[in-house]
Amino acid sequence: MPELPEVETVRSGLEKRIVNCKIEEVKVLREKTLSKISAQEFCEKLKGQTFIAIKRRAKNLFLEMKSGLVIGVHLKMSGSFLIQPASEEIPKHTHVIFILENKMELRFKDLRAFGRMNLFSSWEEAGEQASITKLAPEPISENFSFDYFKEALQKYKSPIKPLLLEQSKVVSGLGNIYADESLFLSGIQPTRPANSITKLEAEKLYKAIKKVIIDSIKVGGTSIRDYVDTDGQLGNYALQLNVYGRKKQKCLICDSPIQFIKLAQRGTHFCLNCQR
Ligand SMILES: [Zn+2]
């Protein structure tokens, strides 16, 4: 599943490429990709509209039009956008096509077809429906201060790893890969009760979470499975992963084998020696 850095990469890619582009026509090839709107209404309302801003809240993307209409998009497991010349063959699993005025097309492709798109009449309505207010602060937002983080951890005695994945509790936008990597960088075992984490450890974890997210946004997100950015380029953060996906391989610091366990149904990687 794309994590926050991947979605942010998609957002900035779209921002560079489609802001101020006018939609000549919309084609919906798979109606089920639309949520709460018919293909006919979706196409009619968006015909002739111009993109003016691309926003993101957690893993939701919002494509805002000059008229105030907002397309909400959740990529889910494998959704991605491609910007291609209209002359280029339409890739398999393309579900929605926005035909742009410059002979280019914005194509929404989704192999596993869990991605969803809907249309809101305004930014306010979009925000409400995406239940944005229920999310904890993102690692890159101003609200995510060290004081906030340290106190938030003290409220929970559940294991730290699954807690980091719960979007409404301590932090939002941190997915499985980044949670494992952050805990490795801060030397904390994923099973540790959150309220047992000391101030010094919390400080290391706070810095690690920010570093992992900021670094991966810089290089365009990881590319573990089918994620592709708007130019069809794969991100390359995967090359720098310390523990994620390295089950039984040697720890890069101490040579111990990387452990793999299931924690709250999620695959979890860590080093028994480096993480306490
Ligand atoms: Zn180690």
Q: Are 22 and 114 in a shared domain?
A: yes
Task: For residue 209, report the distance from its CA to the centre of ligand 1, in Å.
Answer: 19
Assess whether 18 and 119 both reside in one domain. Answer: yes
Q: How far is the CA of 271 from the centre of ligand 1 (A)?
A: 5
Number of independent structural domains in the chain = 2
User: pLDDT digit string (tens) for 148-198?
Assistant: 999 999 999 999 999 999 988 999 888 888 999 999 999 999 999 999 999
The token duo for 272 is 């028994």
- CATH code for the domain in which residue 80 is found: 3.20.190.10
* Among 79, 99, 134, residue at a domain's last position: 134
Query: Where does the pLDDT of residue 133 fall: very low under 50, low under 70, confident under 90, or very high at 90 and above?
Result: low
- Domain shared by 70 and 176, yes or no: no
Is residue 107 located within the same domain as residue 128? yes
For the ranges 101-105, 223-227, 237-241, the one whose mean pLDDT is highest:
101-105
Q: For the whole model, what pTM was predicted? A: 0.75
Q: How far is CA 136 from the centre of its chain?
A: 15
Alpha carbons 206 and 233: distance in angstroms, whole number: 30
pLDDT value at 236 more than 80: no
Q: Rounded to the nearest 5°, which phi and psi values hold at 220?
A: 90, 30
On the 0-12 / 13-18 / 19+ scale of CB atoms within 10 A, 239 is exposed
Q: How far is the CA of 260 from the centre of ligand 1 (A)?
A: 13
Phi, psi of 122, rounded to the nearest 5 degrees: -155, 165
Q: What is the pLDDT of residue 77?
A: 82
Looking at the structure, tell me whether residues 168 and 244 fall in a common domain. Answer: yes
Catalytic residue positions, numbered: 2-3, 59, 266
What pLDDT, on the 0 to 100 scale, is given for residue 214? Answer: 86
User: Does residue 141 belong to any structural domain of this protein?
Assistant: no
Ligand 1 centre from 146 Cα, in Å? 26
pLDDT digit string (tens) for 245-275? 999 999 999 999 999 999 999 999 999 999 9
Give the relative orientation of helices 146-154 and 199-218 as an angle to the nearest 10 degrees.
120
Residues 82 and 46 in one domain: yes
CA of 3 to the centre of ligand 1 (A): 25
- CATH number of the domain that residue 180 is part of: 1.10.8.50
Q: Are residues 77 and 171 in the same domain?
A: no
Close Cβ partners of 21 (under 8 Å, ≥ 6 residues apart):
50, 51, 100, 101, 102, 104, 106
Among 108, 134, 160, the domain-final residue is 134
Residues 89, 169, single domain; the answer is no
Residue 219: its pLDDT value, please?
72
Q: How confident is the model at residue 223 (pLDDT cuts 50, 70, 90)?
A: very low
| Residue where a domain stops, chosen among 102, 134, 166 | 134
Q: Are residues 103 and 178 in the same domain?
A: no
Task: Compute the average pLDDT of residues 49-74.
Answer: 94
Residue 32 sits in which domain range?
Answer: 4-134
Tell me how far the alpha carbon of residue 274 lies from the centroid of ligand 1, in angstroms.
4
* Residue 139 located in a structural domain: no
Residue 35 falls inside a structural domain:
yes
The residue type found at 209 is I
In a domain, 257, yes or no: yes
Mark whether 117 and 155 lie in a shared domain. Answer: no
pLDDT at 225 over 60: no
Residue 275 lies in a domain: no
> 152 with 170: CB under 8 angstroms?
yes
**One domain for residues 112 and 173:** no
